[in-house]
Structure 1
Amino acid sequence: MAKKSSVSILCFLIIIFSAISVSAQTCDETAGNFKPDSPYDMNRRLINFTLASNVTDHNGYFYGWTGLYPDIVYAVGMCSPGAGPEACSQCIQDTSDSLLKSCPNQTDSFTWLGEEFLCLVHYSRKPFSGVLILEPSNVLFNSMDIAKENQKEFDSVWDVLMSRTIKSLARNNLSTSSLSFSNSKYYANDTAPVPDFRNIWVLMQCTPDVSSEDCKLCLEKSVDYYKELHHGKSGGIVRRPSCFLRWELYTFSGVFDHIRMPTPSSPPQPSPWPSKTPFVVTNMPKKDTSLSGGIITAIVIVIFFFIIISIAIVVAVFKRKRNQKIELPTESVQFDLKTIEAATSNFSASNKLGQGGFGEVYKGMLMNGTEVAVKRLSKTSGQGEVEFKNEVVVVAKLQHRNLVRLLGFSLQGEEKLLVYEFVPNKSLDYFLFDPKKRTQLDWTMRRNIIDGITRGILYLHQDSRLKIIHRDLKASNILLDADMNPKIADFGMARIFGMEETVANTKRVVGTFGYMPPEYVTHGQFSTKSDVYSFGVLILEIISGKKNSSFYQMEGLVNNLVTYVWRLWEKKSLHELIDPIIREESERDEVIRHIHIGLLCVQENSAERPTMSRIHQMLTTSSIALDVPSPPGFLFRKGPGSNPAQRLEPGEPTSMSFACSLDEATITDVTPR
């Protein structure tokens, strides 16, 4: 009895140890290598940084590429059904990071990972979408054997199950069709009972880009390969770039939870197969019952201490990573200047889209057909290099559907260029402040624009890896895509906050008058509430269809949009603010609620302004009661002929800025520190 107990403990410990030691990455040594910090290396790191968000943005499957020949990196990321967006994103990011470390200089590599669900990451120098790829392959198997007296019966059930699952998968007869997230094409799981023994569980998946016939071929080859090399084993995995196969004698994935097996008519007999057995690459020695108790005890002790040491190392590494300061890569795709010149026809006037805060913007087309927007830093500007570097560092770390995506940069001589995705419908101010074009913006579209801007700022403040303060939110920095969805742009003035930081001070006040809160201009103090103030001004502009500056000297009073709306609030006449274009067709109560929220955002005391998460709740949940706003803070330029919405550039004398109370008789001149 003692001997059997010792043998059981030994097997259990070997199982644990084997599970820890499995490696799953496949690096294709035949496809070629690259040098560290080469253009290919930088492209691979960039696509690695964006892959997780692209996969979740594309419903669980994404195929794309970045860079230019011969350094283009193609990549695919995919999650199986059952993975929610957050879990999918985390799995893709962890898998991608692991793959880059395990295959440090191979141009081609792939892996399938996951226990509760699968995710795939595959990098290559060659395009592979729609191509069946069978090699390289990676095979893992359980070391325990099926009892020989049960082998024939087991094989019969196993063969039928594999054939049935492949047919089901190839015709998309999915058992997981109820799952709403993630790509479910060419995915199937099934189970079959072996009389008087255990159930066999199988999971198969192909990448959705291959044909049904290629998917079937890939899985059939995997089944045949496993039968040929590892027949008689009690479970295994076959990984190929285009397909995945796993079978076990236990449930190994959450996708099986909905399957109900029939209750056996008679009590099950003791199973000749092991319980959850991990994957190993080589056969483990069969247990020898002739071993003495002393030898077994010695083996158990050695393995036990080895496991303890391994676990201690894993825990120490985990704690060290958790305590390390987050450092994200600052590299992006670096384009050659000649490539950008060719894409923009040497920065021709016909390709010019406009002029931003510190440079011109041109439309271009790369050699692969990708349309881009190129921001060109002014050569004669005495400032801008700091903002240029800041924008590269900040935007490379941000991935959200409501933020403009940075594709790369070029830094050569005096030329400093940023390459962005091309957003076809220009900026919000192009439509909003034009009497004719404004008619295209009905209330539904304006509400969607406000909601999108809200989500983008909320991501910057709360959901991104870093807390970002934009500091220059305004209508001209909100771009509109083909579907009129908003994308926040121009991060040259953005500031990265530590996760525990709440307020910071600056001696360089930068931004645009009319959008900046009082505490920023007068004291150089900024926080997430600075962006909230700017967002409040944006809401009021979107609803009124008028610029903040257009109310200056209105009705004989010194005004801006903020103070004008406050006077309407006091007179209970907020409906007068609504753009006549949407006044008739809009939901009046809903529009008035948005104006109310805008006033809460521009309150003079920053502590009283709501956070972006609270604003999002107020905008999306009409049942939430709104607080009564307090008087707003507002700013204007000195002198009757000046423009209160003029952009304040770095180094400009800030003593020309005034903080004003609502009592026109009181004006205090304050110089910011």
Structure 2
Amino acid sequence: MKQRSSLLILCSVLIVFFVASVSAQTCVHNGKNFIPNGTYDANRRLILSSLPSNAAAQDGFYSGSIGQEPSRVYAAGMCIPGADANDCSACIKSASDWLVQDCTNQTDAYYWALDPTLCLVRYSNNSFTGSAGYWEIVPQYLVMNTANINSNLTEFKKIWERLIHSIIAAASAPKSRYKADVAALTPFQNIYALMQCTPDVSSGDCDNCLRQSVIDYQSCCGEKTGGYVMRPICFFRWQLFTFSKAFGNITLAPPSPHPSPPPLLQRQPSSASDQAKKTDTGSRNISLRTIIAIVVTVIVFIIIIIIIIVVVFARRSTRGGKSDQQVKFNQTGMTTVRSLQFDFKTIEVATNNFSERNKIGRGGFGDVFKGTLMPGGREVAVKRLSRTSEQGEKEFKNEVIVIAKLQHGNLVRLLGYSVKGEERVLVYEFVPNKSLDSFLSDPLKQAQLSWTKRFNIIKGIARGILYLHQDSRPKIIHRDLKADNILLEADMNPKISDFGTARIFGIGQTSSITERIFGTEGYMPPEYRCEGQFSVKTDVYSFGVLVLEIICGKKNRSFCFPGPDLVTYAWRLWREETPLELVDQTILENFPAEEVTRCIHIALLCVQHEPTDRPHVSTIVSMLTSTTIISHVPQTPGSLDSLY
């Protein structure tokens, strides 16, 4: 157990690299709201849509307003100095889109996005240009890495504080408002820090905002290995690894050939003869060689220990090892996102103490309840993990780590989590129409799904998977795409949910193998079900099954038409050139035959037996949104029962 915990702690720095790439946003709670789809909302959407091009065209900063009082909207967009115009525009567009989606009726909001560059988008019903009042300083969003500094803490703090103070001075200097810099911590490790203020505030206000952010960070996280603090007018981040293109332009000065020894090793100059001076110099040279030898030996020893730990951990995992439930939550190396953590009492009140009347579903790892957060009355979905589930703890950690990174209109939004004793709770946005499964299982609800709605659901799911595979950082493989995990909003917009079994892929990684198969029978491709091999093509296969289910209005595992399963039946109809016999009876009178046939064609390409024969999701999205002829011809699918 100690070996496994050590490995997790060692890996925590790598974990925070992924989580720190998540954008953060704050809908400022100033007690003011607007009516969705009203005049203020229309003005908000209009001015935010203009920010990407205006900010990119005006050296990375633009502010303006639109409309008449009381529906006038003020907005600003900003990128770091020197940012590529395309990166700046893309970053501000992403931030603007998420403010529109996430801050549904708040008149004030700001959003710092960290990818593909650093940028800020802010809007309000009051002019904020040049302001540094309460609403510019008080709302803050703090993220820290849970790993502790393992070097000399006293020396680290001296170097860290010297770097931070110099950056504050440079960033708040006249005509500045931005600074990124690096300091050498050891011969093998640097400290990277970046600060930025909006260019419309004064030097004093910038200095005050940055200092307050540093104080907030030090008060909670002074011994941690990195983090960031965000406010409406300033941003502060530091790490022990590079995290911005800005550092590529900074040259770290090499150490002096004869560096001054650390303060604790410094000696007063001697007043003895020249021979005494030579002896002292020789002693210090010998001491330096000794120190280098010791450092090299220690580094080699640490590397050997790490290799041993990794090997032992791998062997223990192969034998089944101990349950992840024995690893305490605060030892996982997960990044603590303070604004995402709810007090457990708040969740109990919201769900009426997890009342049966509030229960809206049951998942593989626990029950789901509808809740109402107070004050404000926001409706949420609360997932309470079962205490008896062997995989509940692992799923909980995985969902917090994975979903915290994901921000897309076709993915369910994680609002927060809560931990108390053995209680593990996840809080999501509330999606009123429940799951796609509830529509396919209910004949009355099924009749509500016109072909237009079904086609939009198919396209929305494809866009969500495309984000997971291609646009999110890092790449995510869901591994359990099915009708139960597709939630539907009031307008039937689909949202992919349940990321407990999802896997993160590293840069350049294309596939992996596992001995523990997660997923649902009927949605898993043969190479995953039989050999444990999974990749992006695993999700593509599941998507193909989903498309067939949406078209025929029945689930694969409850299929009762001629043929062993839905995939096999669809393939037989395609081979007999009668694919439209698959279409749900409730939409037979009104559907575009060519469009439906195209979707069946795409679905059959997705369920091909060989992963290499299945299209990438980017190709799928292109085929769904165009009318060009699909040249690829489907072959025998990968259903276990279709190989006849």
Q: TM-score, normalising length from structure 1?
A: 0.52
Distance between the aligned counterparts of 1:350 and 1:549, measured in 2? 29
Task: Report the counterpart of residue 239 of structure 1 in structure 2.
Answer: 200
Letter in 2 for 1:420: Y
1:80-99 to structure 2, matched below 5 A, reads 87-90=88-91
Q: Return the match for 2:425 from 409, 414, 417.
A: 417
Task: Report the counterpart of residue 627 of structure 2 in structure 1.
Answer: 622
Could you tell me whether the CA contact under 8 Å between 2:21 and 2:473 is conserved in 1?
Answer: no
> Number of aligned pairs?
385
Q: Return the match for 1:491 from 465, 485, 499.
A: 499
**Deviations, residues 601-644 of structure 1 (Å, cap 9, x unaligned):** 00111110000001011111111423110111124xxxxxxxxx
Q: 1:620 to 1:122 in 2, by over 3 A?
A: closer
Corresponding residue SS for 1:447: helix
Task: Report the counterpart of residue 579 of structure 1 in structure 2.
Answer: 584
Corresponding residue SS for 2:23: helix
Q: 1:436 to 1:92 in 2, by over 3 A?
A: closer
Corresponding residue SS for 1:51: strand
**Deviations, residues 220-276 of structure 1 (Å, cap 9, x unaligned):** xxxxxx9xxxxxxxxxx97259xxxxxxxxxxxxxxxxxxxxxxxxxxxxxxxxxxx
Distance between the aligned counterparts of 2:585 and 2:85, measured in 1? 43
Gaps in structure 1 of 5+ consecutive residues = 1-41, 63-75, 96-107, 138-225, 227-236, 242-310, 318-326, 636-659, 664-673
**Deviations, residues 125-149 of structure 1 (Å, cap 9, x unaligned):** xxx7547675439xxxxxxxxxxxx
Could you tell me whether the CA contact under 8 Å between 1:330 and 1:393 is conserved in 2?
Answer: no
Distance between the aligned counterparts of 2:485 and 2:110, measured in 1? 39
Aligned-residue offset at 1:88: 3.7
Aligned-residue offset at 1:482: 1.7
Q: 1:523 to 1:91 in 2, by over 3 A?
A: same
Q: Return the match for 1:468 from 476, 485, 491.
A: 476
Task: Report the counterpart of residue 79 of structure 1 in structure 2.
Answer: 77
Distance between the aligned counterparts of 1:93 and 1:585, measured in 2? 37
Q: Return the match for 2:365 from 338, 358, 369.
A: 358
Distance between the aligned counterparts of 1:468 and 1:401, measured in 2? 16
**Deviations, residues 477-501 of structure 1 (Å, cap 9, x unaligned):** 0111121100100000100001201
Task: Report the counterpart of residue 447 of structure 1 in structure 2.
Answer: 455
Q: Return the match for 2:49 from 35, 59, 68.
A: 59
Corresponding residue SS for 2:396: helix
Distance between the aligned counterparts of 2:514 and 2:495, measured in 1? 27
Task: Report the counterpart of residue 407 of structure 1 in structure 2.
Answer: 415
Corresponding residue SS for 2:476: strand
Could you tell me whether the CA contact under 8 Å between 1:60 and 1:80 is conserved in 2?
Answer: no
Task: Report the counterpart of residue 397 of structure 2 in structure 1.
Answer: 389
Distance between the aligned counterparts of 1:626 and 1:379, measured in 2? 51
Alignment of 1:339 onto 2:346: yes
Q: 1:415 to 1:314 in 2, by over 3 A?
A: same
Distance between the aligned counterparts of 2:110 and 2:431, measured in 1? 32
Corresponding residue SS for 1:407: strand
- Of 441-450 and 379-388, deviating more is 379-388
Could you tell me whether the CA contact under 8 Å between 1:454 and 1:616 is conserved in 2?
Answer: yes
Q: 1:330 to 1:548 in 2, by over 3 A?
A: farther
Aligned-residue offset at 1:111: 12
Corresponding residue SS for 1:436: helix
Distance between the aligned counterparts of 1:396 and 1:369, measured in 2? 23
Letter in 1 for 2:249: V
Could you tell me whether the CA contact under 8 Å between 2:417 and 2:425 is conserved in 1?
Answer: yes
Task: Report the counterpart of residue 593 of structure 2 in structure 1.
Answer: 588
Task: Report the counterpart of residue 265 of structure 1 in structure 2.
Answer: none
Gaps in structure 2 of 5+ consecutive residues = 1-15, 29-43, 53-73, 97-107, 134-174, 176-197, 203-245, 253-332
Letter in 1 for 2:132: P
Letter in 2 for 1:334: Q
**Deviations, residues 303-324 of structure 1 (Å, cap 9, x unaligned):** xxxxxxxx9983447xxxxxxx
Distance between the aligned counterparts of 2:459 and 2:619, measured in 1? 13
Distance between the aligned counterparts of 2:21 and 2:531, measured in 1? 41
Q: 1:94 to 1:599 in 2, by over 3 A?
A: closer
Corresponding residue SS for 1:465: coil
Alignment identity in percent?
A: 55
Which has more radius of gyration? 1
Q: TM-score, normalising length from structure 2?
A: 0.54
1:106-125 to structure 2, matched below 5 A, reads 120-121=120-121
Letter in 1 for 2:604: L
Distance between the aligned counterparts of 1:608 and 1:408, measured in 2? 39
Aligned-residue offset at 1:49: 2.1
Alignment of 1:314 onto 2:249: yes
Task: Report the counterpart of residue 662 of structure 1 in structure 2.
Answer: 643
Distance between the aligned counterparts of 2:348 and 2:247, measured in 1? 55
Could you tell me whether the CA contact under 8 Å between 2:362 and 2:368 is conserved in 1?
Answer: yes
Distance between the aligned counterparts of 1:561 and 1:434, measured in 2? 18
Could you tell me whether the CA contact under 8 Å between 1:51 and 1:93 is conserved in 2?
Answer: no
Task: Report the counterpart of residue 382 of structure 2 in structure 1.
Answer: 374
Letter in 2 for 1:59: S
> In proportion to residue count, which structure has more helix?
2
Corresponding residue SS for 1:376: strand
Task: Report the counterpart of residue 221 of structure 2 in structure 1.
Answer: none
